[in-house]
Structure formats: structure tokens, C-alpha cells
């Protein structure tokens, strides 16, 4: 006999869902690494894009968005994993809108730098 009520017992989710959750976590990490690489590239490899100040601003935004994604990815993975174990609804993610808006801002900033020079 256990101390826990059977209705609150966690169950092991289907391994395919666990692996899919892990792949999603790794995709967030890859996206963060891509943003870091993009930030470094903008700062170091394209001096003709704009003066140092705007390039540094764009690079900083890339790296800041990367940090937000990397920091938020593990708690997101954990929350989804716990929800699957409990058989509850998956939590909503604010990170989707953060990433979409962040990439939109970066794209507009980069476009302005390309057009203005």
C-alpha cells in the first residue's frame, strides 16, 4: 500500500512523447545557439553593414534573445514533462510569442541597417 492516492500518481508517459519533448528542448537550444552565432557574426564579420554602435546593438539583441530562450527552455521542458506524467493539459508557452516578436524586431533592425548602411 502506498501513501499516495492512485488518482494523483504520476505515470511514465509514452517514450515517444518524452523523446519529442526532448527534441523540442534541443530545438530551443539550437535556436539560442544560432542567435548567439548570428550576434557574434554581425559584430565581428560584417563591419560594412553599419558603424560599430548599431552593429553592437543588433549583436546584443541577438545574444539577449538567445539567453532568454536558453534560460526558459529547461523550465518549459520540465513543465511539459510533468504535465505528461500527470496526464494533465500541456502548459501554454509565452516563449512562442517572445521568439516571434524578438526575431521580428531583429529582422526589422537588420533591414534598416542594410537599407541605411
Angle at 111 between CA 105 and CA 112, to 5 degrees: 90
Instruction: For 48-62, write each residue's pLDDT tens digit.
Output: 888 999 999 999 999
Distance CA 48, CA 86 (A): 54
Q: pTM, whole model, 2 decimals?
A: 0.84
The pLDDT-based confidence of 13 (bands split at 50, 70, 90) is confident
CA atoms of 18 and 100, how far apart (whole Å): 25
DSSP 8: G
Amino acid at each position: 500500500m502506498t501513501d499516495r492516492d492512485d488518482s494523483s500518481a504520476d505515470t511514465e508517459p509514452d517514450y515517444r512523447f518524452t523523446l519529442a519533448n526532448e527534441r523540442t528542448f534541443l530545438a530551443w537550444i539550437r535556436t539560442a545557439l544560432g542567435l548567439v552565432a548570428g550576434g557574434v557574426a554581425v559584430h565581428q564579420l560584417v563591419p560594412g553593414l553599419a558603424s560599430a554602435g548599431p552593429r553592437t546593438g543588433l549583436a546584443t539583441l541577438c545574444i539577449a534573445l538567445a539567453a532568454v530562450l536558453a534560460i526558459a527552455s529547461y523550465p518549459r521542458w520540465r513543465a511539459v514533462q510533468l504535465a505528461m506524467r500527470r496526464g494533465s493539459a500541456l502548459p501554454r508557452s509565452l516563449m512562442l510569442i517572445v521568439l516571434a516578436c524578438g526575431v521580428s524586431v531583429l529582422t526589422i533592425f537588420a533591414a534598416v541597417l542594410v537599407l541605411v548602411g
